[in-house]
Amino acid sequence: MQLKDKVILVTGAASGIGRQACLTLAGGGARIFASDLDGAGAAETAGRIEAEGGRAASFAHDVTDAAAWTRVIGEIERQAGRLDGLVNSAGLMVVRPFKETDFALYRRQQSVNVDSVWLGCQAAQALLASTAREGKDRGTTASIVNISSILGQKGGSMHSAYCTSKGAVRLMTKALAVELGRLQIRVNSVHPGLVETPLGIGSMQDMISHGVPLPSIEAAVGMVAQRTPLGRMAQPADVANVIAFLCADESAYVTGTELTVDGGYSIN
């Protein structure tokens, strides 16, 4: 895939899908800016890329803070002078029955999962657009990839706040794809199923602690694998490879699309 020398910012880069996206994109030749509230974790991700001969830098970054976004985008412009891609991967999932989800918990998930995407797209728009203008004669575009979920496409018990937030990301993506297309900025969403990450495993543990009749995490993973037509739970690389495609020149005519990455789980 054509990623060489692209400058890409990935949020939620300290672990899980965000970290693997950084590694996969860097493996394709992209220059990575890794950001996370966990600044040490983001720095570790960047360090791994540099140890393998890639180019990376990191930021401690609260994605719910507009001023933090201004700072991060400004620093990327100072260091790299361009931005080819933004991957909004930071996320929060708290599993609770609806009656136990107070408004503060609801708002926290909206803030991390929805507000951060809005703020990031808005902060990055000008730099993405200027980069896209430079590449227009070559047929290249800028790309925003928003990480939603299959729970942004359908409902899920004990996930009311999370479903609400990820559904918002899904439709925000489509609205921005229409509006930003004339600027040659593509906007797509990726909808993973259950992925073997700290977030995914943590959600299973939450479900067990709230009464879902499964004896262990291992049993939960087995249940997911059994229901999935491809017969296994997703790994971060499964999602990162799709993110890389959406950031690459090969997807230059793909925008407003939602790509489901769940091994067929949601259709079974």
162 catalytically annotated: yes
Residue 66 tokens read as 């507009």
Closest to 254 in 3D by CA, of 192, 149, 173, 134: 173
Name the one residue in this structure whose structure tokens are 């609801």. Answer: 106
Backbone angles phi, psi at 187, to 5 degrees: -135, 120
Backbone angles phi, psi at 90, to 5 degrees: -60, 140
Question: Whole-angstrom Cα distance, residue 22 to residue 240?
Answer: 8
Which helix (H) or strand (E) element contains residue 145? strand 142-147
Sign of the dihedral defined by the CA atoms of residues 178, 82, 10, 123, in that order: negative
**Phi-psi domain of 264 (left: phi exceeds 0; alpha: psi -120 through 50; beta: other):** left
Q: Show the CA angle centred on residue 205, arms to residues 201 and 206, nearest 5°.
A: 115
The DSSP annotation for 228-243 comes to: STTSS-B-HHHHHHHH
Sign of the dihedral defined by the CA atoms of residues 240, 246, 250, 256, in that order: positive
Residue 5 has a CB neighbour count (10 Å cut-off) of 12
Out of 106, 162, 253, 265, pick the active-site residue: 162
What residues are labeled active site? 162
